[in-house]
A and B are shown apart, each in its own frame.
Chain A
Amino acid sequence: MLTCIYEASASKRGHTNIKLVLEPIEQYSLLDQYIHVDADLKKAECVMKSIREKISPQVYRELAYASMAYEEEILDLIYRVLLVGFSYGADVLNMVMYREIMQFNQIRRRLGREVNHFQEFVRFHEVEKGLYVAHIEPKSRLVVALGPIFADRMPSEHFMIIDDIHKEALIHPKDEMYYLKPLNDSEYEQLLKTEEMNDTYTDLWKVFFESIAIRERANEKCQTNLFPLWTRKHAVEFKDNT
């Protein structure tokens, strides 16, 4: 991504004539010319450095975070934000009168909510004694963002969060730093089974979940609003016992 930005700003085409898109491209337009860009560590570092120095490390962090979002326009937006940023400096994200800043902020907030959502609804299964595994299906590639959250929550446990969509896993060995690992098919197959491994505490949780609701206040609509059906797939309390 950073390499793209480097190429775009180094080329002499003029900012308004450039749009950055992520591959794979689903619909090619006839009028535009496509230039494929391969990642290049040096160029990327160059961009990274100039964002940190000319804008601010905070803004760099915000941009890096936002780059996880699934929205396809995100790369182009980051580029636009940078253009504004190089003239305004560290305050760039407050410049809400620019449409691109507004749009960027919206995506950033949505992404924040998505991460939040998984922080709340990830469910771990104890696969063997002391090893906990969870599966998620996020729209964005956000499993990295869950790393610091859960490493702080359970610093002294072995655990693993698997992104079923993007086929990557966040792995946290007990008392150590977590890391990200792309999964190949056979690894993935093996890990898929972990979701069927329920134990007594899964059942106890279901018992608790049933009995904690107050019948006189039943409100399915509200429950569905707060916890939409499509997101319940991995939540054990909504799974049948069968």
Chain B
Amino acid sequence: MRDMQRLADMQIDSKSELQKEKTLEEKLEILSDAAKYDVACTSSGMDRAGKKGYLGNSCASGVCHTFAADGRCVSLLKILMTNHCEYDCKYCKNRKSNDVERATFTPDEICRLTIEFYKRNYIEGLFLSSGVLKNPDYTMEKIIEALRMLRGTYKFNGYIHVKAIPGASKELIYSAGLLADRISINMELPTQDSLSKLAPNKLMANIIRPMNQISGTIAMHRLAIGKSARMERAGINDHLMNSIWGKEVNRIGTDATDRANRLLPGLQTDADAFLFPADKKDLNLGRAFAPAGQSTQMIIGATNETDLELIRTTQNLYKSFDLKRVFYSGYIPVNEDDALPEPGTPVPLLREHRLYQADWLLRYYGFFADELLSEEHPFFDDAIDPKCNWALNHLEQFPIEINTASYDMLLRVPGIGPNGVKKIVNARRYTKVDFEMLKQMRITLKRAQYFITCNGKMLYKIPLEHRFIRNRLIDVDSVEIADIGGQSVQYKQMNLFSDFNMSCTG
């Protein structure tokens, strides 16, 4: 009976959509608006040269084409295929129970938009997500249809990031991965409890299981073309004695269930990778499975996880599934609900920023989650960034001598980033490095001066005293935080990691 009612509803739904006959412009407005909360980034670490007869290539460093009014970079045509949705996730604007304008792109419309935007140098590629249309399998099939057309008929060779719909069957996820460069499944919330509370139709197992299989399949494809099983990481990690990418996390030989259980205890997983023949059409393209890897996204501030839990989960995702990126998205109150923060609650941008900083420290600086926070202090300090905070708590290890310190220690000095370390190490092969040279190398001495000596001397005679240094560092940090009132993540991240030359957080 209920099903009948649903069917009738749906018919009315599609009829009313037909009656209005939305233009491409209206659809684009609705479906890009609905997709804007998803974070994505093209800095894929993967280069793919262009091919005659095809359109597009892929740049490892990522290319931002413009900056939207919220200061976030725009590099992909970020759209939903449809914002119709059978699910009712509480935090989502497109949930079934909301009364919003709905629209659906045809595969051809998606292709034309991508191709034409790409040729005008507006974008680097396509980011395609979707609400659940009818059911996960049906949705996934529609997505694949669009991607096949784009790769096959339109000969598009640029970057594609596709969302896998949790609960879709393995064959379909496999096809999507063969067509796209990156595939991601949003974790949204780090525990089953939070998930049941806010996303009643979603199951943690349905998220972790495909994640595991995607990661296994990526590894298999990488081995088949003569690469290492694990994704390439920033070069700096090769020089570190210890980091989260270290030897012990080598995924070959470790047990699939074991790995999945680090994230969801008790989960039974079957195969470790997709082991069935692929659709001929997809195979003919000769592409590896998701060569730019897998990513995911978590919502920050909708439930009461601590920062420690979040970065531990992040670290586990990197270690177990070799994810390329974990993105955070500060919760934006779009719905009223008892289970959610009040509407009007400010977006936790500063918290999101601190988490990204910590994520950076895990991926590029050789830090581990448990070095940054502890059960006693499970949240990041608003006033001071995680790296400075760590240094302050380990003053006994400082000051270090620039001309002799190890890679690992240089990287742990506030104000010195991977590029700075490379410059220092390079220069000291030929000469003794002094403060003047550090300035030339654009090392942030405002931060670094308290922790280093050059040829045995500090820049100024300063006692290594916790409270004093902390106050000075807070001053430096507050300039960055204050002038934007805890706003832009990217802007500050650029400053903190200025020697990084990497502005993209999403």
Q: Show the binding face of A for B, using Cβ within 8 Å.
A: 94-97, 102, 119-126, 132, 134, 150-157, 175, 201-205, 207-209, 211-223, 225-227, 235, 237
Contacts and interface: CB of A to CB of B under 8 A. Distances in A.
Contacts of A223: 67-71
B484 interface: yes
Contacts of B50: 151-155
B36 interface: yes
Contacts of A235: 66
A134 B121 contact: yes
B67 A207 contact: no
A128 B72 CA distance: 33
A71 to B, nearest CB: 17
A208 B119 contact: no
B113 interface: yes
B211 to A, nearest CB: 26
A155 B156 CA distance: 12
Contacts of B73: 226
A132 B119 CA distance: 8
Contacts of B67: 222-223, 226-227
15 contacts: A121-B65, A122-B121, A124-B119, A126-B120, A132-B120, A151-B50, A153-B56, A201-B120, A207-B28, A214-B72, A216-B332, A217-B332, A223-B68, A226-B64, A226-B73
Given A97-B430, A217-B71, 4 more contacts: A125-B120, A201-B117, A212-B36, A212-B78
B134 interface: no
Contact of B113 (A119, A153, A204, A209): A204
Contacts, number: 167
A153 B115 CA distance: 12
B394 to A, nearest CB: 30
A126 B441 CA distance: 43
A71 B161 CA distance: 40
Q: Which 7 A-B pairs have the closest CB atoms?
A: A222-B71, A222-B488, A213-B69, A213-B68, A219-B71, A217-B70, A152-B50
A19 to B, nearest CB: 23
Most buried by A among B28, B65, B74, B483: B65
B122 interface: yes
Interface of B (DSSP majority class): loop
Nearest to A221: B484
B32 interface: yes
Nearest to B48: A152
Interface in B60-110: 63-74, 77-78
A220 B485 CA distance: 12
A175 B53 CA distance: 8
A218 to B, nearest CB: 5
Nearest to A94: B426
Contacts of A237: 66
A204 B490 contact: no
Contacts of A151: 50
B68 A204 contact: no
B57 interface: yes
A157 B55 CA distance: 8
B484 A219 contact: yes
B6 interface: no
Contacts of B69: 213, 218-220, 223
B454 interface: no
B480 to A, nearest CB: 11
B153 interface: no
Contact of B437 (A96, A152, A175, A222): A96
B68 A209 contact: yes
A223 B494 CA distance: 13
B378 to A, nearest CB: 26
Interface in B418-444: 423, 426-427, 429-431, 437, 440-441
B338 interface: no
B52 A155 contact: yes
